[in-house]
Structure 1
Amino acid sequence: MRNHLVPVTAAALVAVSSFAFAATQHHATGSVKTYDSKAMTLSLDDGSTYTLPKSFKDPGLKTGEKVNVAWQQSGTMKMVDKVTIQK
């Protein structure tokens, strides 16, 4: 029984650490270049484009407005968790 405990524990640690790595949240700050509510995309003045979730509620985004974007990488897409307008 003890011989199986070490490999199982090691495997669990590797699985948990890789899962935590996948859920890394990033932040970006910039000015809104475009906001497309139909395509559910937000582009900033630095050229980065983010995909908004279907549940996204527009906080009043306008072109040129400075925002902070919290996002996660999902394949090649940057999926938005939250958009905050900076004052």
Structure 2
Amino acid sequence: MRVLLSNLAIVTVLTTPALALAAQTATGTVKDYNKASMSLTLSDGITYQLPKGFHEPGLKTGEKVSVSFDMSGKKHEAKSVKLLR
């Protein structure tokens, strides 16, 4: 029984950080896209910092998008942005 519980504890400890590092996804409407500052703000007020070399897929105010992002402290760092049509 001890071996089973210790193995379960080890698996739990090893898999928890991997789950925390998984990218999150948000869907919403573009409120502002600033190419100069490389940022995208959705209608919910959350601003996503876009990665260097970001290829803009035709972002305009009012477009529906899906943003895959990671958290870095309190910053939302976008990994990808896809238009939803």
TM tier relative to shorter chain = 0.7 to 0.9
**Aligned 1:35-46 pairs, distance under 5 A:** 35-46=33-44
CA–CA distance in structure 1, aligned partners of residues 66 and 12 of structure 2: 33
Aligned residues: 79
CA–CA distance in structure 2, aligned partners of residues 78 and 21 of structure 1: 17
| Identity across matched positions, percent | 43
SS of residue in 1 equivalent to 2:15: helix
Post-superposition shift, 1:37?
A: 0.8
- Could you tell me which runs of 5 or more consecutive residues in structure 2 were left unpaired when the two chains were aligned: 1-5
What is the CA RMSD across the aligned residues, in angstroms?
2.0
- Could you tell me which runs of 5 or more consecutive residues in structure 1 were left unpaired when the two chains were aligned: 1-5
Which of 63, 67, 70 lines up with 2:68 in the alignment?
Answer: 70
SS of residue in 1 equivalent to 2:29: strand
SS of residue in 1 equivalent to 2:67: strand
The aligned residue for residue 30 of structure 2 is 32
Letter in 2 for 1:36: N
TM-score if structure 1 supplies the norm length?
0.78
Q: Which of structures 1 and 2 has the bigger CA Rg?
A: 1
The aligned residue for residue 60 of structure 1 is 58
TM-score if structure 2 supplies the norm length?
0.80
Runs of 4+ in 1 over 4 A off after TM superposition: none
The aligned residue for residue 81 of structure 2 is 83
Cα deviations across residues 27-85 of structure 1 (Å, max 9, x unaligned)?
11111000011111100001111000012110010001010111111111111111000
CA–CA distance in structure 2, aligned partners of residues 32 and 62 of structure 1: 7
Post-superposition shift, 1:21?
A: 3.0
